[in-house]
Amino acid sequence: MEISSGLEDVYIKHTALTSIDGEKGVLRYRGYNIEDLVEHSTFEEVAYLMLYGELPSNERLATFRASLEKGYVLPDYVKKIISDIPRSAEALTIYMTAFAAMSAAENDFKWSPQTDKQKSAEIIGHAASVVANANRHISGKSVVDLKPSGSYARSFLEGALDRKADAKEVRVMDRALILYLDHEVPASTTAALVACSTLSDMYSSVAAAVAALKGPLHGGAAESAYLQFDRIGSPGNVEKWFNENIIVKKQKLMGFGHRVYKTYDPRMKIFRKMDDEIVKSPEDRNMLQTARKLEEAGVRQFGPKYVFPNTDFYSGIAFKAIGFPVNMFTALFALSRTTGWLAHISEYNESEPRIMRPRALYTGPGPRELAAVSNK
């Protein structure tokens, strides 16, 4: 009986959503290359594709967008909960709390292929409003509903940043939302599936996913990768920092390595290119150059062990350039991945709804009598 450490190479479901070729570094959603979707589609079109299986006609896209926009309005009690959370709270904590609270509206929840997707669209809208308000709340602003603008990325940005967003910022956010949208069954999606396999509701299953995403080995790496660049300070300091921290102290290089990719993560390459296009300030440009140098040192050291930069290595530089603080990066990852979690939840419950119940191999003491213990 073999234990699979970290569930490595354990298959828990069939999926028609996302395919990953870890050797070649290829990622496809419903058969389309991620590079093509980022170049030619919007987040709304790709979200529709993941939920329904095909890219939408203009008419279906309009209906889908209307459902997303319904979710921009949060229930009053959720707005109050967000307002009452301490401003020092992590953005993901606000996300988890809001989603756990919204499950209150799901007391008579029942799975149904007819309504899951409609409900998912509204939840994806709620996610934009919750994450936008997490950014507003931690930066001292009031909680509001998002305003429809014809673009999910634009409505999210303008609500979160409390200002008009320019076309370039909207395009970067839209592409980031596509890049992080799904990735088969990483720890967070698996957590969502375990929850929904017990017939728990969608909101609670998303809250379970967020709890798993938070850690620095998973979504938390988006923030910890950026903090490395900040600590290093400039390209000229990279070699010294790398030797002291990664070689001598054997710290993990955050934003590097992947359970599935044994080459460059294709998403990383797209983020790296986007960073070049969007970075404006000398400070952000210096961060990007530091990251480039750190990538070179990391690939030189770990490339021979098939450890390469992943999607979290460069994403933070783009998020910072469009105005988000570091402690929002993982919440932005969660915002995008909400669609992937919901698509996997629906797919699982519509095709193989069995409760997930693995086993543990017992290594404790053999059977023993509970004799009257004299020296109690």
Q: Is residue 312 annotated as part of the catalytic site, yes or no?
A: yes
| 266 to 13, 177, 255, 306, 329: CA distances (angstroms) | 24, 15, 13, 15, 19
Whether 218 is catalytic is: yes
Please provide residue 54's backbone torsions phi and psi, each rounded to the nearest 5 degrees: -135, 155
The C-alpha atoms of residue 55 and residue 376 are separated, in whole angstroms, by: 69
Q: Which of 221, 331, 342, 345 binds ligand SDX (CB under 6 A)?
A: 221
253 binds ligand SDX (CB under 6 A): yes
d(CA 275, CA 295): 14
The backbone torsions φ and ψ at residue 114, rounded to the nearest 5 degrees and listed phi first, read -70, -35
Rounded (to 5) percent helix, strand, coil in the chain: 60, 5, 35
Q: How far apart are the first and last CA of the chain?
A: 38
Shortest Å distance, C-beta 130 to ligand SDX: 20
If one asks whether residue 14 binds ligand SDX (CB under 6 A), the answer comes out as: no
Residue from 16, 104, 217, 247 binding ligand SDX (CB under 6 A): 217
The smaller minimum CB distance to ligand SDX, of residues 10 and 217, is found at 217
Interaction with ligand SDX in 306-335: which residues (CB under 6 A)?
Answer: 307, 310-312
Please count the other Cβ atoms lying within 10 Å of the Cβ belonging to residue 187.
Answer: 18
Which of these segments, 59-67, 90-98, 233-241, 246-254, binds ligand SDX (CB under 6 A)?
246-254
**Residue 28 interacts with ligand SDX (CB under 6 A): yes or no:** no
Of 40-48, 90-98, 274-282, 304-312, the window that binds ligand SDX (rule: CB under 6 A) is 304-312
> Could you tell me which of 153, 187, 190, 174 has the C-alpha nearest to residue 344?
190
Only one of the segments 48-56, 256-264, 280-288, 343-351 lies at the binding site for ligand SDX (rule: CB under 6 A); that segment is 256-264
Q: Please pick, from the candidates 6, 53, 233, 325, the single residue that binds ligand SDX as defined by CB under 6 A.
A: 6
Instruction: Single out the residue of 259, 269, 273, 292 in contact with ligand SDX (rule: CB under 6 A).
Output: 259
Answer left, alpha or beta for residue 193, where phi above 0 means left and psi between -120 and 50 means alpha: alpha
Is position 25 an interface residue for ligand SDX (rule: CB under 6 A)? no
8 Å CB contact between 260 and 11: no
Note if 258 is an active site residue. Answer: yes
* Catalytically annotated residues: 218, 258, 312
Binding residues (CB under 6 A) for ligand SDX: these are: 6, 183, 186, 217-218, 221, 252-260, 302, 305, 307, 310-312
